[in-house]
Structure 1
Amino acid sequence: MKFLKPTFLNALDSYSLRKKNSGKVKPRVRRGSSTVTKSWGNIARILLVWLVLMSGIIALSYRLYHLQIVQGEKYFNRAQAQQQTNLRPYVPRRSIMDANGNVVAADQLVYDVYAHRILLGESVENVARALVEVIPNGDLNDLIQKINGQETGVLIARGLSEGEADRIEALDIVGVDLDQRYDRYYPQDDLLADILGYVDMDHNGQAGIEYSGEDLLERDLFSPEVRSMLRVRRNAHGAIIPASLPEKATDLDDLSLKLTVDLRLQRAVRDRLRVQMEQFKAKKGAVIVLDAQTGGILALACEPTYNPNRYFNYDFALFKNWSVTDTYEPGSTFKPINVAIALDEGVINPNSYVSDPAQVTIDGWPIANASRTGLGTVTITKALDVSSNTAMIDMMRRIPRERYFQRLEELGINRPMGLDLPFEGVGFLKSKQVFTARDIEMAVSSFGQGLSLTPMKLVQIHGAIANGGKLITPHVVEGLVDANGDIQVLPDIQETQVFKESSADAVVKMMESVVENGTGAVAKIENYNIGGKTGTAQKHDGQGRYSPTARITSFVSILPTDNPRYVVLAVIDEPQGDSLFGSTVAGPIVKDVIQSLIRLKGIPPSQ
């Protein structure tokens, strides 16, 4: 019994142990070779992962090489196209103001209206009826024809104001678009057209100071290449990144172009010229008012003219300022200039006498006074009073031909003046060989025929008589001024002494007598000493003959004669009717302009 108990207990322990370990499988580990197998498996797995990673790196590296090296330029250009854009910068032209600071030309926002018939949600007739109520001077039938002209992109109105554009937008018409742009605006319409000119659809000046003053009116922020096409960067939403703009891209100066022209005087000149043009049914006319001391043009008007806001509606021929571009034979308005030359040359003095027959014959050519009468022997002053042709011939024959020709050349008749207005015409003076060959050339030049000049040139020379003998370049630009009105840039004005001061002063007094006692009496104004000279010239037909009917009438005046400052010239080409003389056609214009000048400039009565 004592031997069985341990055995029985051992069996129970063995059974309990097996039951406890049931469900668990213990690995049977073999020493030696089993350890080596486990190590090689780990290495294989690591190697496999490494190969996968290396393959990925190689593939990515190849792809990066292909993208950045092989196709790098292609994708770089594509990225730049997405991130950058070409911007054509709009740089406003400088405004233009008159002598008193009134803006007469400026850039403004305008709108063009386009219709797309293919997109219209209603009938063309209904759309046209709605638009014609808004578009200035719109015509219903014209609008209907325009819209029906093509299916899309029809320009039906341009240059509408912001208010008019708002009204069209409020109509909410599908198929009607508004295109915004900047345009040059002239608030005075045609009042200053002959001076200002106009700007075309591309914002380029085409006439007047808009053309000749381009360098003063354009703000030079960039070089021409940069200004024409500016490259800027955009963000992800397409907006321009400000930091990408070149330096000074938005830095505009406050300078404006200031003119010498007085808007108030210009209006008086324009209105008076139109009245006389209509009365005499003239071909064309011009009035110029000059400050002889400075060379500044205070007023300049030509008729017919045009509205620079609607330049496309006018004949191209109207865009030139004919008082600057066209030449004519000045006739008797040139006589005071010849008197100044004769005084300078010492062949006469203010008290000299000359012969005034009714007619003389020079080189076989009969030349007579307009009145067909003569006064015998007269003073130089009297010769101007009655505008004697024969007396002028007697006076100028005392000067050698070569010397007379030289003096005419010194006045610059056949050379440009250097105006700041464009397309300046140059006068005609015969060659020295022709001019000095016979007396007839000198004879006809003595009373303003046989040579030609522009009205502006005639004003310049009379300005020299008024200011003591100095030939000053006429100009309309006073300079570039800042916001405070201070001039920052001045024009280059030339000045040349062409007459002795004593000669010029003597001629002014003689011209005063013409108004007091002679043919210029139409310009007389009580309590004011005014000088003047009439001109009635036959028109040359360009074929060596003078027209028996066509005339150019003119009147030039200097005032006040006790302190000469202003020159006024009126020229009327081919007036129609009776009594067609400088005193009857051009003289009344000059008188009215002088009266306006007296009021506006506060000219006191003469002592």
Structure 2
Amino acid sequence: MQKNFRNPTLTRRQKRSRRGLTGKPASNTQDKAPHNKSRLFIAWGVLIAAGLGLAINLYYLQIVRGPKLTQRARNQQMVNLRPFMPRRPVVDRSNNVLAIDRPMYTLYAHPKLFNKSNEEIAQRLAPIINKDAAELLKTFQSKKSGITLAPALPEEIIDRITSLNLNGLELIQKYSRFYPPDDLVADVVGYVNIDRRGQAGVEYSQEKLLERSVQTVRLSRSGNGSFMPDHAPEGFLHFDDLRLQLTIDSRLQRAARNALKQQMEKFGAQRGAVIVMDASDGSLLALVSQPTYNPNKYSTSDISLFKNWTVADLYEPGSTFKPLNVAIALENGVIKPDDTFNDPGFIRVADRTIKNALNNSYGRINIAQILQHSSNIGMVQIIQRLQPSAYYNWLERLGLGQKVDTDLPFEVSGRLKSQEQFIASPIEPATTSFGQGLSLTPLQLVQMHGALANGGKLVTPHVVRGLIDSKGQMHYSPNRTTPRQIFSATTANTVVEMMESVVTEGSGKPSQIPGYRIAGKTGTAQKASPSGGYISGARITSFVAILPVESPRYVVLALVDEPKGENAYGSTVAAPIVKSVMETLIPIEQIPPSQTGNGD
């Protein structure tokens, strides 16, 4: 029996044949090759195109836009910084601090960050910041964050707060201008506002000297935004130790203020002022005005007080102007020191009758007695010897109608009638002879009397001495107008000696100080009305003194506006103030006693 065997080869072919019959193509290596090559070319093309695009983009970024992008990167990494520079301090002539920048802190609370209960923190914090604990608790409960507890706290308070070790309290440092003497020198120093700009006094007029120069610097920042001090310019945070020194003496300023306030309260006066000037150079040793304000609390003060009225307001000087008229007449040679005049108590000038203040008549009197008795009639007769045009020219030489050009701000010019008006009306020279019909500032009157005290020179009153360092060395001193010689030394000394008789024998007796020769002149002037004429019953009392007579140097003026009472005169209101101020001035300036003094 013959067996059938399967042919394995045939079977595989048959299988392949069968697979072929199904319609599915058999794999063919030769058919796949073109497809693989195409894919490879496409892949390489994409890679080459991407590389080329990347190269073009790199070229564009690094070569074409490179400089701009570099600058932008630097701008992001660098910051312009203008460091805070405190204003220079202001000191008096003895280096007592009158104004200084000091660090202050604003205290914020964030109750959501408290590590203790609201009640406990309120109880511990309230007495330090001077607040009620219950009110503080309500404040904490009203808001979760960003509560302002105190806008300006000094460092000593901050030390107490930080010692509590409480979470949730934030302190932001700032600088604030501080005035240690409070209101003592406010009319001279002034104040700065919240924007740190001077608004009055030397804080305003000397802004350029008080502000330190600040350079803007560029600092680099790290990736987290913090500054990199290694790249900071060397010494960019250093600043000078210069301070603005004034000519004011705080001891004398305090004595003048106390004396002025006492008399103002006694006579119910509206306002008053005291000025002390060293006539040798015009430096002001004291300048007091009442009422005044506290520059540490300027926002609660009357804004009318920010302008110092001794330089910003005009008034008619009255009889305190008479010694200057005597000097003009002497300098022109129309009178001699021993001339006499008849004072019947009145005089007719054009259609007007002029009388003495108290309707007194003094008969035959010399020039010194005209000043002693403050005779209006005698003064009119003296000035009538001068040609009106010559007299007017002398008033202009004295500076009437002009500014003093002081370093205090808001100064106004004095007022003098036009030359045509003055010459055309005989009444104008007559009233000017006893200090009416013209107006000036109190500071200008002190300047004019300074010309009598220093041998005839018109100096510039000033309060700024200059910039000094911590060792007292002067680094800058302002340029001032060269003093003008107005009167001869002989004329000036003659008038001062005549004024001495006012203190020894006349209305200035209340200013006498035993052992010292003092010259002076009282003034009790009607108060001019802004609408013309004079305010009924209103007067300005004043007294001006020069000392020591044997070597004149210091001028002291006291002025009291609208004192009340029948006995309110220059001799009773202002002269005692000047005496008190001189009693303080003498030991401060070490003025030796005269060989023959008033009151001996």
In the superposition, the TM-score normalised over structure 1's length comes to 0.85
The DSSP-based 3-state class of the residue aligned with 1:108 is: strand
| CA deviation after TM superposition for structure 1 residue 97, in Å | 1.6
Alignment match of 2:322 (pick from 328, 331, 335) = 335
| CA deviation after TM superposition for structure 1 residue 165, in Å | 2.0
Change (3 A) 1:548 1:532: same
Give 1:373's aligned amino acid.
Answer: N
For residue 209 of structure 1, what is the aligned residue in structure 2?
A: 202
For residue 89 of structure 1, what is the aligned residue in structure 2?
A: 83
Q: Distance in 1 between matches of 2:139 and 2:270?
A: 36
For residue 64 of structure 1, what is the aligned residue in structure 2?
A: 58
Deviations 1:33-75 (A, max 9, x none): xxxxxxxxxxx9x999998985664343244346557876885
For residue 182 of structure 2, what is the aligned residue in structure 1?
A: 189
Q: Distance in 1 between matches of 2:164 and 2:479?
A: 54
The DSSP-based 3-state class of the residue aligned with 1:590 is: helix
Change (3 A) 1:284 1:232: same
Q: Distance in 1 between matches of 2:122 and 2:291?
A: 34
| CA deviation after TM superposition for structure 1 residue 237, in Å | 4.4
The answer to whether the 8 A contact 2:322-2:435 is kept is yes
Q: Distance in 2 between matches of 1:331 and 1:139?
A: 57
The DSSP-based 3-state class of the residue aligned with 1:164 is: helix
Q: Distance in 1 between matches of 2:278 and 2:557?
A: 12
For residue 546 of structure 2, what is the aligned residue in structure 1?
A: 558
| CA deviation after TM superposition for structure 1 residue 265, in Å | 1.2
Deviations 1:429-471 (A, max 9, x none): 1111111111111111111111000000000000111000100
Tell me, yes or no, if structure 1 residue 584 matches structure 2 residue 572: yes
Change (3 A) 1:469 1:575: same
Give 1:602's aligned amino acid.
Answer: Q
Deviations 1:219-266 (A, max 9, x none): 2244xxx4xxx5432233434334654576334223221111112111
| CA deviation after TM superposition for structure 1 residue 78, in Å | 5.7
The DSSP-based 3-state class of the residue aligned with 1:568 is: strand
Q: Distance in 2 between matches of 1:355 and 1:145?
A: 83
For residue 474 of structure 1, what is the aligned residue in structure 2?
A: 461
Change (3 A) 1:104 1:72: same
Deviations 1:204-223 (A, max 9, x none): 1111111111111122244x
Q: Distance in 2 between matches of 1:132 and 1:552?
A: 51
Q: Distance in 2 between matches of 1:231 and 1:145?
A: 46
| CA deviation after TM superposition for structure 1 residue 487, in Å | 1.6
Q: Distance in 1 between matches of 2:308 and 2:277?
A: 16
Change (3 A) 1:84 1:141: same
For residue 36 of structure 1, what is the aligned residue in structure 2?
A: none
For residue 527 of structure 1, what is the aligned residue in structure 2?
A: 515
Change (3 A) 1:344 1:248: farther
Tell me, yes or no, if structure 1 residue 249 matches structure 2 residue 236: yes
Deviations 1:391-424 (A, max 9, x none): 1111111111111111111111211121111111
Change (3 A) 1:576 1:139: farther
Q: Distance in 2 between matches of 1:321 and 1:162?
A: 33
Q: Distance in 2 between matches of 1:443 and 1:155?
A: 66
The answer to whether the 8 A contact 1:292-1:467 is kept is yes
Change (3 A) 1:481 1:140: same
| CA deviation after TM superposition for structure 1 residue 387, in Å | 0.6
Alignment of 1:71-470 (within 5 A): 76=70, 79-115=73-109, 130-135=124-129, 138=131, 155-171=148-164, 176-222=169-215, 226=216, 230-242=217-229, 244-245=231-232, 249-470=236-457
Tell me, yes or no, if structure 1 residue 504 matches structure 2 residue 498: no
| CA deviation after TM superposition for structure 1 residue 340, in Å | 0.6
Q: Distance in 1 between matches of 2:495 and 2:512?
A: 18
Give 1:182's aligned amino acid.
Answer: Y
Change (3 A) 1:131 1:388: farther
Give 1:88's aligned amino acid.
Answer: R
The answer to whether the 8 A contact 2:368-2:501 is kept is yes
The DSSP-based 3-state class of the residue aligned with 2:583 is: helix
| CA deviation after TM superposition for structure 1 residue 159, in Å | 2.8
Q: Distance in 2 between matches of 1:141 and 1:269?
A: 46
Change (3 A) 1:325 1:110: same
The DSSP-based 3-state class of the residue aligned with 2:128 is: coil
Q: Distance in 1 between matches of 2:391 and 2:139?
A: 65
The DSSP-based 3-state class of the residue aligned with 1:177 is: strand
The answer to whether the 8 A contact 1:333-1:556 is kept is yes
Q: Distance in 1 between matches of 2:526 and 2:583?
A: 29
The answer to whether the 8 A contact 1:147-1:156 is kept is no
Change (3 A) 1:468 1:63: same
Tell me, yes or no, if structure 1 residue 536 matches structure 2 residue 529: no
**Which stretch shifts more, 237-246 or 459-468?**
237-246
**Which stretch shifts more, 65-74 or 479-488?**
65-74
Deviations 1:54-102 (A, max 9, x none): 5664343244346557876885566345412232321222222211122
The DSSP-based 3-state class of the residue aligned with 1:553 is: strand
The DSSP-based 3-state class of the residue aligned with 1:105 is: strand
Give 2:520's aligned amino acid.
Answer: G
The answer to whether the 8 A contact 1:472-1:493 is kept is no
For residue 31 of structure 1, what is the aligned residue in structure 2?
A: none
Give 2:151's aligned amino acid.
Answer: R
| CA deviation after TM superposition for structure 1 residue 196, in Å | 0.7
Aligned-CA RMSD value: 3.1
Q: Distance in 1 between matches of 2:324 and 2:316?
A: 14
Change (3 A) 1:123 1:577: farther
Q: Distance in 2 between matches of 1:172 and 1:310?
A: 32
Give 1:357's aligned amino acid.
Answer: P
| CA deviation after TM superposition for structure 1 residue 503, in Å | 0.9
* Residue ranges of structure 2 left out of the alignment (5+ in a row): 1-37, 596-600
The answer to whether the 8 A contact 2:83-2:237 is kept is no
Tell me, yes or no, if structure 1 residue 545 matches structure 2 residue 507: no
The answer to whether the 8 A contact 2:82-2:214 is kept is no
Q: Distance in 2 between matches of 1:70 and 1:370?
A: 94
Q: Distance in 2 between matches of 1:442 and 1:454?
A: 20
**Which stretch shifts more, 200-209 or 518-527?**
200-209
The DSSP-based 3-state class of the residue aligned with 1:596 is: helix
The answer to whether the 8 A contact 2:503-2:519 is kept is yes
Change (3 A) 1:477 1:182: same
* Residue ranges of structure 1 left out of the alignment (5+ in a row): 1-43
Q: Distance in 2 between matches of 1:148 and 1:556?
A: 64
Q: Distance in 2 between matches of 1:491 and 1:462?
A: 23
**Which stretch shifts more, 565-574 or 106-115?**
106-115
Give 1:565's aligned amino acid.
Answer: R
Change (3 A) 1:269 1:428: same
Tell me, yes or no, if structure 1 residue 596 matches structure 2 residue 596: no
Deviations 1:273-307 (A, max 9, x none): 22222222221111110000011000111111111
The DSSP-based 3-state class of the residue aligned with 1:436 is: helix
The answer to whether the 8 A contact 1:357-1:391 is kept is no
The DSSP-based 3-state class of the residue aligned with 1:134 is: helix
